[in-house]
Amino acid sequence: MKKGYLILEDGTKLEGISVGADKISEGEVVFNTGMVGYPESFTDPSYEGQILTLTYPLIGNYGVPDDSKDKFKINKHFESDKIHIKGLIVSELCEKPSHWNSARTLSDWLKENKIPALADIDTRALTQKLREHGVMLGKIVFKDEKNTNNSQRGNFYDPNIENLVANVSIKKPIVYNRGKKRIALIDCGMKNNILRSLLNRDITVTRVPWNYDIFKNKIKFDGVIISNGPGDPAILYDTHEVVKKCFAAKIPTFGICLGNQIMAIAAGAKTYKLKYGHRAQNQPCINTENNKCVITSQNHGFAVNAKSLPKDWKPLFVNANDKTVEGIKHQKLPFFAVQFHPEATPGPNDTNYLFDEFVEML
């Protein structure tokens, strides 16, 4: 087995074995605490620019499914048409999966997509380091670099300085005809199951790029959804301006994940980078309106500053673990957003009802 190394910006070097493509890669090293759901997670555009550490000790035991489509011609098993992670770090990778839906091994899938991966890494120790220090920049290499003491940030690729949304958004509008009600979906790195959740409710969806002005281009819609996506929400100025127009016109507007942060900024609030983010399918959130707890699927590194919310907005959900804002809502107008993924995939379906609540606003 070929050796590989994960080098962190603080000079830490972890040795493992290559189980993916033998390709040097750099990015932000983050961790996910989910037990399953790796095909959906790896293809989630929100992971663009990140080297993903999976804390569950055995990964790949149910293989990777095929590329089959559903009745809407959307991929059944993946959340986009490619793997978005920059690299994968695991403790143990299963090379002989057993599952009725398995079409290939995880290792083969990673190699096909030219994604490097290292196994035999102490992911527990790595996760503890990231929790204490916060997420760090890192790189996967396949040569034993002796000089790893230079931990200057400038020597590592930082995906957060780029407009990652521009890399993962579509380039021109796509219309999915379904029903009489119409939604403009601003694609900032949309997961497939968001689209599927709307089409299953007989909604016609016009999916547009992140910087597309739906007002100037006279798109027909009854409501607007801002999707999930990667990176820093504060740099998406074009999207902020479109959402401000939605607010001014009092159009029903729903944000998901990055969309939650974009709506908060458009309303006048501030966002900030979390120490190590929320990435898992087991994040408990409290609904502030009924005090009920829901288990949610999450993948984000930024959050909304609750104290910066204008007086006509309120937190709709808060994280039960760290009390961060997990959703916002306008006190009177039809605007609300959530930081988690109500469409799940992977994860629980506790909050799928939020799509129904939004459709009722149209």
* Per-residue model confidence (pLDDT) at position 147: 47
Give the three-class secondary structure for 191.
coil
Stretch 19-29: mean pLDDT: 96
* Per-residue model confidence (pLDDT) at position 143: 79
Q: Is 341 a catalytic residue?
A: yes
Q: Hey, what are 189's tokens?
A: 């790195």
Q: What confidence tens digit (pLDDT) does each residue in 233-262 have? A: 999 999 999 999 999 999 999 999 999 999
Q: What domains does the chain contain, in order, with CATH numbers? A: 3-161 (3.50.30.20), 164-361 (3.40.50.880)
Rounded Cα gap, residues 186 and 172, in angstroms:
11
Q: Which residue has the tokens 């033998």?
A: 22
Instruction: Spell out the residues 6+ positions from residue 146 whose beta carbon is closer than 8 angstroms to its own.
Output: none
Q: Hey, what are 273's tokens?
A: 């980078």
- pTM of the model as a whole: 0.95
Stretch 14-19: mean pLDDT: 97
Look at phi and psi of residue 67 and say left if phi exceeds 0, alpha if psi is from -120 to 50, else beta.
alpha
Q: List the Cα angle 22/26/31 in 5-degree steps.
A: 100
Say which of 40, 257, 285, 330 is annotated catalytic.
Answer: 257
Alpha helices in 180-221 (DSSP H): 192-199
Say which of 26, 48, 326, 343 is annotated catalytic.
Answer: 343
Q: Which residue has the tokens 């990777």?
A: 64
Give the three-class secondary structure for 116.
coil
Q: Which amino acid is at 357?
A: E
* CA-wise closest residue to 339 among 306, 303, 311, 308: 303
Where do the DSSP E strands lie in 147-181? 174-176
Backbone angles phi, psi at 45, to 5 degrees: -60, -15
If pLDDT is split at 50, 70 and 90, which confidence band does 145 have? low
Q: Is 343 a catalytic residue?
A: yes
CA distance readout (Å), 345 to 48, 236, 342:
17, 26, 9
Q: Which residue has the tokens 């098993």?
A: 77
Q: Which amino acid is at 26?
A: E
CA within 13 Å, CB half, 15:
7
CA within 13 Å, CB half, 39:
22
Q: Which residue has the tokens 């920059």?
A: 86
Q: What confidence tens digit (pLDDT) does each residue in 60-90 have? A: 999 999 999 999 999 999 999 999 999 999 9
Q: Which residue has the tokens 């994968």?
A: 88
Q: Which amino acid is at 163?
A: N
Instruction: Spell out the residues 6+ positions from residue 285 whose beta carbon is closer than 8 angstroms to its own.
Output: 293, 294, 295, 296, 317, 318, 319, 320, 326, 327, 340
Q: What confidence tens digit (pLDDT) does each residue in 279-319 have? A: 999 999 999 999 999 999 999 999 999 999 999 999 999 99
Length of the chain: 362
Answer yes or no: are the C-beta atoms of 232 and 48 closer than 8 Å.
no
* Per-residue model confidence (pLDDT) at position 291: 97
Supply the mean pLDDT for the chain. 95
* CA-wise closest residue to 280 among 193, 352, 347: 347
Answer yes or no: are the C-beta atoms of 255 and 271 closer than 8 Å.
no
Answer yes or no: are the C-beta atoms of 165 and 310 closer than 8 Å.
no
* Per-residue model confidence (pLDDT) at position 154: 54
Give the three-class secondary structure for 330.
strand
* Per-residue model confidence (pLDDT) at position 250: 98
Q: What confidence tens digit (pLDDT) does each residue in 202-229 have? A: 999 999 999 999 999 989 999 999 999 9
Rounded Cα gap, residues 40 and 83, in angstroms:
9
Q: Hey, what are 113's tokens?
A: 């997509």
Identify which has the larger pLDDT, 43 or 149: 43
* CA-wise closest residue to 185 among 199, 349, 40: 199
* CA-wise closest residue to 59 among 82, 78, 33, 84: 33
CA distance readout (Å), 2 to 12, 16, 21, 108, 222:
20, 9, 11, 15, 55
Is the pLDDT assigned to residue 151 strictly greater than 60? no
